[in-house]
Structures are given as structure tokens and as C-alpha cells.
A and B are shown apart, each in its own frame.
Chain A
Amino acid sequence: MDTFLQVLTNGLMLGGLFAIVSIGLTLIFGIVKVINFAHGEYLMVGMYLTFLLATGLHVHPYLTVAAVAPLLFVLGALTQRFLIQPLMSARDEHVQIFATVGLSTALMNLALLVFGADIASTPSSGLRTSLHLGPVRILLGQAVIFVVSIALVAALHWYLQRTQTGRAIRAVAQNRDAAQLMGINVNWIYILTFGIGAACVGLAASLVAPLYPTQPTSGTYFVLIAFVVVVLGGLGSIGGAFLGAMVIGLIDSLSGFYIGSDLREVAVFGVFLLILILRPSGLFGRKNLAHVSP
């Protein structure tokens, strides 16, 4: 029973990790309607930045978020302005996919060129300490990620629902042309959204780097999981993405323990495919089926 509880807790903690990595992606996905294949590389870049700042300035990795999140915001905004925006009117979706695939490949290999294939370990600064909660143990860092991911969901929800800019963002997501007619600067909204989405990844990176090794391919695994989470949660639904992340975290943890750790991905991607095929609006998504034929 204790083992089961521990596996369950591990699943939830993993879910928190997946959630914090995926929230930015679902925001970009839902608003700009672009699948950003370079999302994982944003995380990787953020983790390297955290590593460099934390080791260079000898500060706690969490403090680096003050620099990492704004830098990622700029990276995201630049991506939108100079890569996606020129392609927004492209008739063919292939173009945007390839553009972000190209960016992803370039960033990953750039990291390989600069840092080599070796692992960069950000100092864990006590975040690997175990907390005992009744029968289960969790790492301090994991608990922080879990709490921050909930806070981030709440903050974004508040921002989108309650602020004027947030309303503008939602309007653009609903109907780009109508929003433009209402005087909203659509291109600026897209740049802002992409920036915020990337900044969320920057926040995630500073929290993740102390717990997980940083290497050029760090992003690849996370980006696939993030796609799974986003589709599971329903396109662009931030709360849905959080719940989706929990589901995937639990599946990952339970299948890893009870089926075999090397088959976790089969379980995760198997569930993903089933959802995509049987319930394309996602587990928690409203009907929004522009991407499937009836």
C-alpha cells in the first residue's frame, strides 16, 4: 500500500513537472494556433541559462528566473515576429511546422556546438532534500514545481479572464479578423502571447534545471510529452493542460512501476494516440474540432 501511495505521489509530482513545461505550449497553441516544435529547445535553452547564471554568479538557481524568464520572453517574441508572423498567411500548415522544426534542430545543434554533449549539472542547492509526508517521500524541488505549476495556471487564468490585454488575447483566439476590426493589434497580441508562453518555459527551466541534468537533447523528451499533455487537455485550455499533465504523470509513474520502466513511453504515447483518434477534442476540451474531419 505504501509503495502504491509512493508511486501515486511520484506520478503527481511528475505531473507537476509536465504541467509547468506544457503550460506555455498550450497558450501558444491555443492562441497563435501554431505548433511550436521548438518548445522543448526553449526549455533546454532556459536550463542552460539557469546553469550558466547559477554557476557563474553563485546564486540560488531559483533566483536566475529573474533573468531567464525575460530572456525567454524575448526569444519567444522574436520567434513569432521573425519566423511565424511572415508565415501566418501561408496556405499550407506544413510551412509553419517546418519552420519550428528547423528552429528546433538549429537550437539543439547550436547547444551541441557550444556546450558539447556533456551533461551540465546545475547545483541542486538543497532542492534534492527529501520531505516526509506521512508514508511518502518527495523531493523539495518537486514539491516547489508542483505548487508553482498550480500558481502559474491560476495566474494565467486570472490574466486572461480579468485584464484588458487578456480579453484581447482571448478575442484574437476566437476570431482573428473580428478582433482586428475591433481595433486589436493582432500581430502584437501574437508576439505578446508567444513571449508569455516562452517566459513560462523560462520559469519552468529555472525550476527543472536543479533537479534534472541539462544537455542539448533535454528538450526533446519534454516536447513530446508536452504535446501529449496539450492534446489531452484540449487545445489551448490551460486548466485542461494541468489535468492532462497529472493524467500523463500518473500513467507514466504507474506503468513504469507495474509494467516496466522501459515501456512507460509506450503507455503514454498509446494513451495519447487513443485520445487523439477517439476523442480529438481532448479529455477536458470543449468541442473545438477544426483539426479533424467529421
Chain B
Amino acid sequence: MQQKLKPALASPRGAIGLALVLLGVLAIPIAMDDQFIYHIFVTICIFAALSTAWNIVGGYAGQLSLGHAIFYGIGAYAAVMLTNMGITPWLGMFVGAFFAVIAAIVVSYPCFRLHGPFFALATIAFLEVFRVLALHFRSFTGGATGMMIPLNIGWEWMVFRDRLPSLVIAFGMMLLALAVAWWIRNHRLGFQLIATRERESAARGAGVQTVKVRLIGVSISAALCSLVGSFHAMYLTFIEPEAVFSLTFSIQIALFALIGGIGTVFGPLLGAVMLVPITELARGWLGSGALGLHGFVYGVVLVLVVLFMPNGIMGLVHRFLEPDRKPKAEPEPETVAAEPRRVAPHQVGDDIIRVEGLDKHFGGLHVTNNVSFNLKEGEVLALIGPNGAGKTTVFNMISGFLKPDSGTVSVRGTDGQFHQPVTPGDYAAIGVGRTFQIVQPFASMTVEENIMVGAFHRFTDVNDAREAARETAHRMGLGRWLDSEARGLTIGGLKRLEVARVMAMQPRVLLLDEVMAGINQTDVRRAVDLMLSIRDSGVSIIAIEHVMQAVMSLSDRVIVLNSGQIIAEGSPQEVVRDPTVIEAYLGKEFAHA
């Protein structure tokens, strides 16, 4: 449901629209000068800020937290408790944010393995635990009776007779949240968060430390929620566990983001602007006579939005901003700009990878049995074998995605020493990049953004990464599709995108898993040229490949794997004549034919 994530600000109409919305939020209450209107707009700012902060976790990182009230509540309690001790909330809010970050890490870290609804359930459970504990420790939190703040009026206590200063502070917090969300979306962190959401394994393959970026994301989100919570407590002057650590409240925070457009920078703001006034006015006009009406409206709106407007308000806005965006007709594939082949045989250097005695069992199945081989610098090594021979398992073990039961993988680093990487991140750091047999694009990101995720392995700056990504895309013949969503590519395009993403990391060793399977003859020839040009640029390659035409013309050496064991090794010409190889592929009766 995440639409194309190009920030709306890219178009001038979007920028003007945003400015008008922000101006309206500030100017309307000042112009109307009515207590109730002020209250509505302060509430809009509060929810917009919370929802924007939630969106960093729920939208960008795709982790549906329904426990964000925890962080809001920690901020609220910290500010109120410290105010009661005579410490200004301007200081207290940062104390709250500090504890919210700790809570965020404690809550999220164990839950990152959980997907979708399970993550949501775990966050709900944590929220319940916080609520019950807040109720239990009466001496600390005041228990069910809640806590008041002393009525010291003035800027230093964040408590005012007029509503205007409150609006100014709330507005400022909303701007802060929006600025942070916008900054993240346009920098490396945002790309990495979204990549993690779209395909966790591909993100790890591209060198993204998924746990770390998620922890950073959730910490920022929690800190923002806590700051807003501190202010909101001062604004309400009274807090109680049932109100602050509330599931309903958590759901509301997520709701505005969903209705506005989940995963977009300004969607949560629009969601709050549209929905808060409706419900607050309904509450105000209908009073207690219609108890439950506003909740009913929320629920129905939520269901309708999910059913008929899954991209939220931002989906409509995008359609308005780019009315003539039609899917482009599939253009003719470009020719790959392969560098001219060198006539002289290329140089093969010393070992760059040494694999020794890899063993792996899946239950009773011995998938790889004492597999040892080496890869020399500048070499193309083909790994072939019948289906189920254990090729991809070997790949997973030499890229950190699987831990071998025994055996070692050593990679020579740029320092000339051999290292034994463990995690995919270690492998990426030492310069081993891989593709996946089953393509793993970041579907909702554009081709350019996909490749940028790889480029961010080398660059921190977004412009450098974009530049590198464009260059790689052109080299891989993906130049025309830079702005298309990855999900729109053909299978051949997706395979090239896989290679492009890892090439953007500038690996020293490239692991290619069946990049030629299922693509047509012309594409195979182009792919072969491309591999050779990659090799000539100094990259060592291990390729799992079934397309024999490619294996024969590409590889310096071939290893044949069958039932988890290496059964033959040698030059391509030697290997195809080897009787054991023929037997493995075709059966005994062909071996001596």
C-alpha cells in the first residue's frame, strides 16, 4: 500500500499546499480567537506530531507498533513528576525522552524478529504491562487517581492562561517531528529503513545493519513521542495511567498516519488535520448525549479508508500532483555498455576467498558435505550442479546468511590479511556482495532508490549515492527505468536490478546466484558481456549458473556440486567431459555413452 515515496515537496504544487496547511493550522485559531477552536488546533498539532513520529517506525520501517502510547506516557509522567519536584518541564521533557529511548530499545529489540500482527501484539502486551505497572506503583505514579501538576503559570512551567502560547509550542513540536521525518526520508537512514521493510534479507545483503537502523528509527520515534507527551501533560494539567498508557490512544496515533498515507512524510499531518476537527466538533456539539459517536465515526472511517483509499489522503494528493502519470510502455531494452574485451588473458591473482570443510545439515539431510574450494582474485568461478545439489546453501554460508555446522570461510581483506566474517553485514563490509536466486527487489521503491540502498554501503551522502546509483543503472542497462517502481520490471530487468544493487556496493567479490535463469538468449549474451566487464574491472566472481552457454564462455574454472559434495573441478572444457559430471546430471547409462 505504500505508494511511490518521492516526497511531495518535489513538485511546487505540493510545497505550496504544505505551506498552506501549516499556515492554516497556525493562523485559523489566532484569527478566530476562540478557546474551543484553539483547543482543536492544539490537539491537531499534538496528534500530527505523534503520528508523524509513529510513522518513522510504522511507516518507514513497516513495524506496526500499537504501543506508542508507552513513549508518550513516559514523557508525560517524567514531565509531571519533575514539575512536582520543582524542575521545569523544559528540562523534564528531555529526561522523559531519555527514558523513552531506553524503553524503546528494551521493548523493540526482542520484538524485531516478529512480523506484522505479531509485532503489533507484542507492542500491545508491553503497553498493557506499562499500564498495569503504572497503576500498581501508586507511591510513584499516583496510581489510578492520577497526578496533577502545580498550577505555576508561565513559560518556564509550560502552563498558560491563554491558549496561544500552547498552540505555539504544539506547533513547534509538530514542525520538529515533520522536519525529522522529512530529513530521515531523504537521507541514508530513511532508505535503509524502507529497504528493511521491503525485504529484510535483501537489505542485509546490501550491507544494511537492519537491527541497528531499526533501533535508531524506533529511538528517534520514541524520543519525539515522549517530548510531545511531556508537553501534552502540561497542557492537560492532569494525567492518569488509563488515559496515557491507552491502547485506544495508540490506535489513534497509527490511525491518522494510515488515513493520511502510511509511509509518506506528510500523510500523518493531513490525517490529523482532516480527522481531529471532525471528531472534536462532534464531541463538542453532541456532548455526552452521543457517547461513543466519535469512536463509531473513527471506526467506520478507518474501515472505509482501508477498503477504498488504501493509499490514504496522500494517495489522492499524488494523483492530483501528477495527473498525467501513466505507466510507460515497455521500451526497447538498452544495449549494455560493456567495455571492450581485452584480448590478452586477464590476470588471476592470489586467493581472495578460502572455503574449508563446510558442513551443513537440515534435519537429517546432509546438504553440504566437506565442501572446500578457493577463489582467486580476478577469477570467475562457476558453481554448477543438479537441482538440490546444495549450491545456494553454499552461497548462503559464504555470505553470512547461514551458519555452517562446521568449516570456515576466510576472506582476504583490503589489508591483505584473511578474516572470518560472520554476519551478512561483516561480509558486506569486507567486500563480498551477493544476489538472490529468487529476486528480492524493494518493490515499492524506484529502480534508482533500489540501487541507492546498495550505494549507501559506500556513501553516507544522499547525492553521492544517487550519483553512484545512476551510473550503475546506466552501466547495467537500467537507465530508462530509473524512476519506475521496481515491481514494474520484467524478470530480466529484476535480475539486472539485483546485480546493479550489489554492484553499487562496489564489492571485491561478487556472488551471483542464477542471474541468467529464465532470461532470453539476447539477454544472456548481454549478461555474459556484462560479467566479463565486471571481472575486468577487478572483481572476483563466483556464479551459480545453469545456462551452460554462459558457464562455458565466462568461467575460468568450474566446480561441480552433487548431493552436497564437490564431484569435479577444473576448466569448463574438462568438466563437461568428466564422466562423473555427466552421470550426476543425466544418470548412469549416459556416463559411458
Contacts and interface: CB of A to CB of B under 8 A. Distances in A.
Interface of A: 35, 83, 86-87, 90-95, 97-99, 101-113, 116-117, 216, 220, 224, 227-228, 231, 260, 262-263, 265-266, 269-270, 272-273, 276-277, 280, 290-293
Interface string B133-161: 10110000000000000000000000000
A231 B292 CA distance: 31
B300 interface: yes
Contacts of B10: none
A101 B135 CA distance: 25
Given A277-B110, A291-B118, 18 more contacts: A90-B310, A92-B2, A93-B115, A98-B254, A99-B307, A105-B251, A106-B302, A106-B303, A113-B296, A116-B291, A260-B136, A262-B135, A273-B126, A276-B118, A276-B121, A276-B125, A293-B112, A293-B113
B45 to A, nearest CB: 23
Given A110-B296, A263-B136, A227 B121 contact: yes
Interface string B91-119: 00000000000000000001111111110
Contacts of A97: 64, 116-117, 120
A266 B133 contact: yes
Contacts of B113: 277, 280, 292-293
Contacts of A266: 129, 132-133, 136
B contacts with A: majority SS:
helix
A83 B307 contact: yes
Contacts of B290: 113
14 contacts: A87-B307, A90-B310, A93-B116, A98-B255, A98-B302, A106-B302, A110-B296, A262-B135, A273-B126, A273-B129, A276-B114, A277-B113, A277-B114, A293-B113
A227 B111 CA distance: 16
A280 B1 CA distance: 27
Interface string B294-317: 111011111100110010000000
A216 B291 CA distance: 11
B365 to A, nearest CB: 15
Interface string B1-27: 110000000000000000000000000
Contacts of A95: 1, 306, 310
Contacts of A269: 125-126, 128-129, 132
Sort chain B's interface into a size bin. 35 or more
B129 A112 contact: no
B520 to A, nearest CB: 27
B513 interface: no
B122 A273 contact: yes
B293 A109 contact: yes
Contacts of A272: 125
A99 B295 contact: no
Contacts of A228: 125
Nearest to B63: A94
A86 B122 CA distance: 27
B249 to A, nearest CB: 12
Nearest to B110: A277
Most chain B CB within 10 A, of A102, A224, A273, A276, is at A102
Nearest to A276: B122
Contact of B295 (A86, A112, A116, A227): A112
Contact of B117 (A86, A110, A291): A291
Contact of A101 (B251, B300, B307): B251
Interface string B468-480: 0000000000000
Interface string B243-287: 000011001001100100010000000000000000000000000
Contacts of A102: 298-303, 306
B367 interface: no
A39 B273 CA distance: 31
Contacts of A290: 115
Contacts of B293: 109, 113
B303 A99 contact: yes
Nearest to A29: B117
Contact of A94 (B110, B258, B443): B258
Nearest to A107: B299
B124 interface: yes
A233 B300 CA distance: 32
B509 to A, nearest CB: 24
B118 A292 contact: yes
Contact of A109 (B116, B126, B255, B295): B295
A263 B132 contact: yes
B240 interface: no
A108 B121 contact: no
B8 to A, nearest CB: 20
Contacts of B498: none
Nearest to B248: A105
Nearest to A269: B125
Contacts of B300: 102, 106
B485 interface: no
Given A35-B121, A103-B303, A105-B302, A291 B292 contact: no
A262 B242 CA distance: 14
B3 to A, nearest CB: 11
B514 interface: no
Nearest to A110: B296
Contact of B115 (A105, A262, A263, A292): A292
A94 B126 contact: no
Given A111-B292, A265-B129, A91 B1 contact: yes
